[in-house]
């Protein structure tokens, strides 16, 4: 799969603050890549570096397998700050101004207005728009010229639940057309519902990166039951990866130090004379994984 963005050991310092520390990442074509972290974790700084808005103190990055050029930048659309358009002008006029800045024609304006659901309001003054509509117009401006990559910094920040849902649906629609999307967010739910891949940052350092589905596939614990709960409880303690258990009336919840396969667990107990009557995996949420990473990093 083609590598769209490659970041190698980027660091950025502001005085005494190390905003980003030796960050390395790869984003492949077609991915919806989430950069997740609390406020101050280095997300916006990272996006600003790869968009050439600020310079890193060290490290390098490449777009589409080469050093950044004016031509490669034309293949990237971005929304980094709050929507900022001329308040007394309509979306059409505002987008024409953006097209002029990007040295593009006007033929793509109707497409991006339809895509973002703003076509019916194309001749309305920008100042009358809700914050969610303003955010969608910002996305529309980034999509002019049909870029290969779309970069969004906290795209649902400040939106109400309906606005969040509209932006989420829009991002998924854009991704379904094959556009590579990079999203920075501190919202776990947003990343979990939208992204295929995620990198977790804290204090400028990368704590994890990989597929969201792999994180969600990790078993947090198992609910187990057998004819004899007492025998089950004593036997499961013999498992080499056993960590702890929570007793119940008719079942127990068991936690392990390592990832455990349900089939292997069932076989282990059967070989030790316990036949399970109930076995259910409890999958770890992205939130649990995220909080564990932050907790370990803060120690």
Which pLDDT tens digit goes with each residue over 175-223?
Answer: 999 999 999 988 877 888 899 999 988 888 888 888 887 666 556 688 8
Quick one: DSSP state of residue 66? B
pTM, two decimals, is 0.77
The pLDDT value given to residue 144: 95
Quote the percentage of the chain above a pLDDT of 90. Answer: 61
The pLDDT value given to residue 217: 56
CATH number of 219-283: 3.30.70.100
pLDDT tier at 292, thresholds 50, 70, 90: low
CA 271 vs CA 57, 68, 156, 170, 244: distances in Å: 58, 59, 52, 52, 21
The pLDDT value given to residue 286: 64
Cα 83–Cα 202–Cα 37 angle in degrees, nearest 5 = 40
The pLDDT value given to residue 216: 60
Tell me whether domains 3-215 and 219-283 share a fold. no
Can you tell me the distance from the alpha carbon of 93 to that of 109, in angstroms, rounded to the nearest whole number?
10
The pLDDT value given to residue 299: 54
CA dihedral 150, 185, 39, 290 (to 10 degrees): -130
**CATH fold group of domain 3-215:** Rossmann fold (3.40.50)
Count of CA atoms in the C-beta half-sphere (13 A) of 192 = 13
Between 146 and 39, residue with greater pLDDT? 146
Can you tell me the distance from the alpha carbon of 299 to that of 287, in angstroms, rounded to the nearest whole number?
18
The domain locations on the chain are 3-215, 219-283
Rounded-to-5 percentages of helix, strand, coil across the chain: 35, 30, 35
The pLDDT value given to residue 138: 93
Q: Which residue has the tokens 């089939």?
A: 263
Can you tell me the distance from the alpha carbon of 117 to that of 133, in angstroms, rounded to the nearest whole number?
9
Can you tell me the distance from the alpha carbon of 243 to that of 195, in angstroms, rounded to the nearest whole number?
32
Least confident of 20-24, 135-139, 265-269, 291-295: 291-295
Statement: residue 135 has pLDDT above 60? yes
Q: Which residue has the tokens 């990790």?
A: 218
- The answer to whether the beta carbons of residues 135 and 61 sit under 8 Å apart is no
The pLDDT value given to residue 215: 65
The pLDDT value given to residue 197: 92
For 7, phi then psi, to 5°, come to -110, 130
Can you tell me the distance from the alpha carbon of 251 to that of 226, in angstroms, rounded to the nearest whole number?
7
What mean pLDDT is predicted for residues 267-287? 85
pLDDT tier at 294, thresholds 50, 70, 90: low
């Amino acid at each position: 799969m083609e590598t769209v963005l490659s970041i190698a050991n980027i660091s950025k310092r502001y005085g005494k603050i190390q905003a980003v520390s030796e960050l390395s990442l790869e984003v492949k074509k077609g991915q919806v890549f989430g950069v997740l972290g609390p406020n101050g974790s280095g997300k916006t700084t990272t996006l600003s570096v790869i968009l050439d808005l600020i310079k890193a103190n060290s490290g390098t990055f490449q777009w589409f397998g080469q050093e950044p050029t004016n031509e490669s930048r034309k293949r990237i659309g971005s929304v980094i700050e709050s929507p900022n358009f001329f308040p007394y002008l309509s979306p059409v006029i505002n987008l024409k101004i953006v097209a002029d800045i990007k040295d593009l024609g006007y033929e793509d304006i109707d497409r991006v207005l339809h895509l973002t659901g703003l076509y019916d309001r194309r001749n309305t003054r920008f100042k009358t728009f809700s914050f969610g509509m303003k955010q969608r117009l910002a996305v529309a401006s980034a999509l002019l010229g049909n870029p290969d990559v779309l970069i969004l910094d906290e795209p649902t920040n400040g939106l109400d639940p309906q606005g969040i849902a509209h932006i989420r649906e829009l991002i998924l629609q854009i991704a379904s057309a094959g556009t590579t999307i990079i999203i920075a967010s501190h919202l776990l739910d947003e990343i979990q519902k939208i992204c295929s891949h995620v990198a977790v940052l804290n204090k400028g350092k990368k704590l994890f990166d990989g597929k969201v589905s792999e994180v969600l596939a990790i078993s947090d614990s198992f609910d187990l039951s057998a004819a004899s709960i007492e025998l089950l409880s004593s036997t499961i303690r013999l498992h080499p990866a056993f960590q702890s258990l929570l007793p119940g009336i008719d079942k127990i919840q068991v936690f392990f130090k390592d990832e455990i396969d349900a089939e292997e667990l069932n076989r282990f107990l059967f070989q030790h004379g316990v036949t399970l009557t109930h076995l259910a995996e409890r999958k770890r949420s992205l939130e649990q994984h995220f909080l564990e990473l932050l907790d370990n990093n803060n120690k």
